[in-house]
Chain A
């Protein structure tokens, strides 16, 4: 251990670089993981903040975000008449693309009826829409597109005035915006259209009981938690492959950096290792020295990397508030473990050159 520390610290710059290399790699992995879980958390924002614990959707549809659900006519009344149902919030949802300053952006436009709820839960400026040509949009999205209250926005074939700004409604692929349910019915040329019903059971009745009680042909009745999970799974299909690829690359870079540093440190001290061998040290002892060096560099790097990830995450969210980086403790543990794995893999690189070292080396000029 002593030899390992001395070897590593002999050149401070090199040691710092190696720590930095691991830190960047660990920080990147953590940041990506945090970004991924942030995407999932944001994806459930609307359902998390809207009352109701049971969701009624078109038959076959089990997510809230991915598809355009259309409930059969009369479904709302049938659900309202179901025993144990206290409250029904009807919503129409539609993904809408708008363009501002030559840049496209997307809305999950929610049509709601103020009598029943389902509108913005955190209005920070202005008011809720009272007419069909009015709209509440996300504050961050508004800031990004230089939109203020009173501005007009082109929504499909008509104009809508922004009358309110909401918070906590920014999203991985746009944001949530709110309009009256009648506005969406006419925008989509579907009078009476209902995409989803959010159902709250009467006090003392479990969501599962209500879920089983609702029996409307052509619908899918699900617990809200399941819909949230399905949305996350949908997102995973799109996000996990690219993020997995990035994490793999970051991991290999980390291994390479540590490996390189330890290798160089080992090669430089060949004479010393030779001397150790000449006085009877076994290969095993030398491996241990090499592995200890890798572990020190990796641990230092991992600690700095965790800090780096938190710092970069905070900076990212300040710069682009639509991103949520949510680093969970369990991820930190996994990443710390993976940095140790990096160290072990990295130690393999110089191990061979130590093993093949001739004790006689020390006596050479």
Chain B
């Protein structure tokens, strides 16, 4: 171990409280950035869960529609048959879709309402924990969390699309921070929306061995007025909705996390240096150059930032585990890119923080060691 490292470690380790405050401060500041990134990544995950789990290989929407969240997509009914006739398509299921408020008692909640044809091979709930996975006329499948909050169960009535439906199934994994997913009969949806001969999306199964991308382009080329995307592409478009629309908020938080982290590390390194003035004086009296002392200070900053980064990462990971257990639909997803970004932040912070006490170190008079009364 180099002398600088040893001195830096001893300097830091001497006061436990100071070390804890410094590491804790850095950890929290970095968590600020990490957890915000994780929140948005979590929201993006939740947002795409219906697209990812509905079972379709290709999604067909009204031309120009490349998203699901809160948007409208309305195509003439004939699109389903036209899609079914395209090479490589083995199954095409139309769904109706709207963002609506579902109500039960005093509980009201925003939901993607999906109108599902009888016996639909895709587009339905992927995990039914109670009751049926099929909806008939006058029936609805709602998320288990909504039912629990509203205090309703199988057989109870729910307000949806301006009408009423009876719960026949409870699904899991269908709730996000923003909304849940509810499933009603296709014909009910259509009746409540004025019987217009339209569909929202057509979900497609492609033939075994066929590529979803090429079938999607084939559909776009053959069927007029539609946009067709493979599940992966559609899901990526939906993720971009979150990243594009939250980009500004995230960059603001990044700046804030960075500044707070910098302030905390600068303060602790400065304070630590100040407190070790006598020792630095001894070192100088023994002939150590300023360069060596700088290195000690820089190492101290690097050590506390590294420890802070580790703790911050652990804290955010813990938060990611704990938050979903609180019953809120908030999900935190830690990504490699965001960890790398914050690690870079930490490195820059350590470098900048070490600059501050340099004058202090350079200004130490070797004679200080011979004076009495300077507390260590």
Which residues does A use to contact B, with CB under 8 Å?
Answer: 11, 13-14, 17-18, 20-21, 24-25, 28, 31, 58-63, 66-68, 70, 72-73, 94-97, 99, 103-106, 154-158, 173-174, 187-190, 218-219, 234, 237-238, 241-242, 245-246, 249-250, 252-253, 256-257, 259-261, 263-264, 267-271, 316, 320, 322-323, 349, 353, 365
Contact = CB atoms under 8 A, between A and B. Distances in A.
B64 A253 contact: no
Contacts of A271: 373, 375
Interface string B159-186: 1111100000000000001100000000
A11 B110 contact: no
A158 B76 CA distance: 15
Contacts of B244: 103-105
Contacts of B241: 97, 104, 106
Given A61-B101, A157-B225, A256-B28, A264 B18 contact: yes
Given A17-B263, A97-B241, A242-B330, A259 B64 contact: no
Given A24-B259, A156-B65, A268-B275, A241 B177 contact: yes
B54 to A, nearest CB: 19
Contacts of A246: 32, 35-36, 253
Nearest to B372: A365
Nearest to B74: A189
Interface in B20-47: 21-22, 24-25, 28-29, 31-32, 35-36, 39
A104 B67 CA distance: 10
8 contacts: A14-B267, A96-B72, A154-B64, A188-B74, A190-B74, A219-B162, A241-B328, A246-B32
A42 B18 CA distance: 44
B375 A270 contact: yes
Given A17-B266, A73-B194, A242-B39, A157 B63 contact: yes
B132 interface: no
A24 B328 CA distance: 29
B62 interface: yes
A25 B260 contact: yes
B245 A106 contact: yes
Interface in B235-263: 237, 240-241, 244-245, 248, 252-253, 256, 259-260, 263
B210 interface: no
4 pairs of A and B residues whose beta carbons are closest in the complex: A157-B63, A260-B21, A189-B74, A60-B159
A94 B266 CA distance: 50
Contacts of B348: none
Given A28-B256, A67-B101, A190 B196 contact: yes
Nearest to B330: A241
A157 B219 CA distance: 16
A270 B15 CA distance: 14
A268 B240 CA distance: 53
B62 A21 contact: no
Given A62-B108, A238-B178, A253-B28, A97 B67 contact: yes
Contact of A66 (B99, B225, B319): B99
Contacts of B266: 17
Contacts of B100: 58, 60-61, 67-68
Contacts of B18: 260, 263-264
B71 interface: yes
Nearest to A241: B330
A252 B28 contact: yes
Contacts of B160: 60
Given A18-B267, A28-B260, A96-B71, A253 B25 contact: yes
A11 to B, nearest CB: 7
B110 A234 contact: yes
A95 B259 CA distance: 36
Contact of A174 (B76, B245, B259, B264): B245
A257 B267 contact: yes
Nearest to A70: B193
Contacts of A245: 35, 39, 319
B263 A157 contact: no
Given A190-B74, A267-B15, A237 B260 contact: no
B64 A156 contact: yes
Nearest to A234: B110
A190 to B, nearest CB: 6
B17 interface: yes
A267 B274 contact: no
B153 interface: no
A21 B177 contact: no
Nearest to A269: B375
B42 to A, nearest CB: 10
Contacts of A67: 98-101, 110
B205 interface: no
Contacts of A261: 267, 271
B280 interface: no
Nearest to B35: A245
Contacts of A173: 245
